[in-house]
Amino acid sequence: MKPGVEKILPYNGAERKGRQVEQMFDAIADRYDLLNHTLSLGFDKGWRRKGVRYLKPFAPNLILDIATGTGDLAISMYKALKTARITGVDISEGMMQTGREKVKRAGYAGYILFEKQDCLALTYRDNTFDAVTVAFGVRNFEDIGKGLAEMYRTLKPGGHVMILELSFPVKFPMKQLYKIYSGWVIPQAGKFFSKDKQAYRYLPASVRVAPQGKEMQALLEKQGFTGVRVKTFTGGICSLYTGEKG
C-alpha cells in the first residue's frame, strides 16, 4: 500500500481519520449530490451502472452497501436487481438522512435501509450477505485492511464483492489532464459551492495516494477473495474491483 494512504486527513487534526471523515461528510451532505454529479461531469452515474451490471447475473438477495452515503448506489442496485433488501451503512448521519429522503421519494423505503455503522467493526453476523459493495468510499476507510476483512467476514461463501473507486490515471494525456482537474478545478469549485472547502482538498488528495490496480487487487486477495478482477473506465479515472468469497 502506498505510504500515507490512511494518513491523509480532511482536517489534519488530532482526531482519528474516521471521526474526521464523519464530520466532513456531515458538513457537505446537503450539497454532496449536486457537487458530486457536477464535478464528475455525470460520469459517476455510468460507473455505478457498470458496477450494478456486474452483480446482475448473480441475483443477490441481500446486499450490504458500505459507505453508502446518500444512497445512490443502493438505489441503482434496487432499480436494476429488485433484491429483497439492501442495507446501506455509513458513519455520516447527515449523508444517510439525505439518502433516506431520496429512497422515500422513490418509493423504496421498505427495501433500502440505512444504519450507522463503523465499517471496521460491523455488527452483522458472519456469512450474512449475498453481495457487499462500496462506491467511492474505500479510500476514506481509517484502515483499509480491516475494512476489507469485515466485507469478507459478512459475505456469504460464494457471495460477490463489488468496489468502485476513483483512481489516478497513469497514461498520457489523461494523467496530465486529471492532475490539473483534481488539483485545481475540484478544490476551487468546492471552495465556491461548499461551506467546507477543506473537504474538496482532501477528496482529490486521497485519490492520489489510494491503492489502485494490482495493489488493490493484492489487498483483496490477501483477505481471501478469489477471482479478483480489475477494470478501469474513462481513461483510468474510475476502477471497478470484483471478486468472490471462496
pLDDT tens sequence for the chain (246 residues): 444 557 789 887 778 999 999 999 999 999 899 888 888 889 999 999 999 999 999 999 999 999 999 999 999 999 999 999 999 999 999 999 999 999 999 999 999 999 999 999 999 999 999 999 999 999 999 999 999 999 999 999 999 999 999 999 998 888 999 888 888 888 787 777 666 778 888 888 899 999 999 999 999 999 999 999 999 999 999 999 999 998
3-class SS shares of the chain: helix, strand, coil, % to 5: 50, 20, 30
Q: Residue 134 corresponds to which cell in the numbers above?
A: 462500496
Please say whether the beta carbons of 120 and 67 come within 8 A.
no
Q: Are 142 and 74 in contact (CB under 8 A)?
A: no
Global pTM value? 0.94
Residue 117, all three cell numbers = 455503522
Nearest C-alpha neighbor of 66 from the set 182, 3, 155, 151: 151
| DSSP assignment letter at 140 | G
How far, in Å, CA of 41 to CA of 64, rounded?
Answer: 27
**Strands, DSSP E only, in 67-166?**
85-90, 112-116, 129-135, 155-166
Q: Output the pLDDT for position 193.
A: 67
* 3-state SS string for 33-88: HHHHHHHCCCHHHHHHHHHHHHHHHHCCCEEEEECCCCCHHHHHHHHHHCCCEEEE
Q: What is the pLDDT of residue 83?
A: 97
The continuous run of DSSP H or E covering 243 comes out as strand 238-245
- Residue 228 has a pLDDT of 98
pLDDT attached to residue 3: 42
* Residue ranges of domains in the chain, CATH in brackets: 17-245 (3.40.50.150)
- Res 4: pLDDT: 53
How far, rounded to the nearest angstrom, does the alpha carbon of residue 147 sit from its chain's CA centroid?
A: 12
Length of the chain: 246
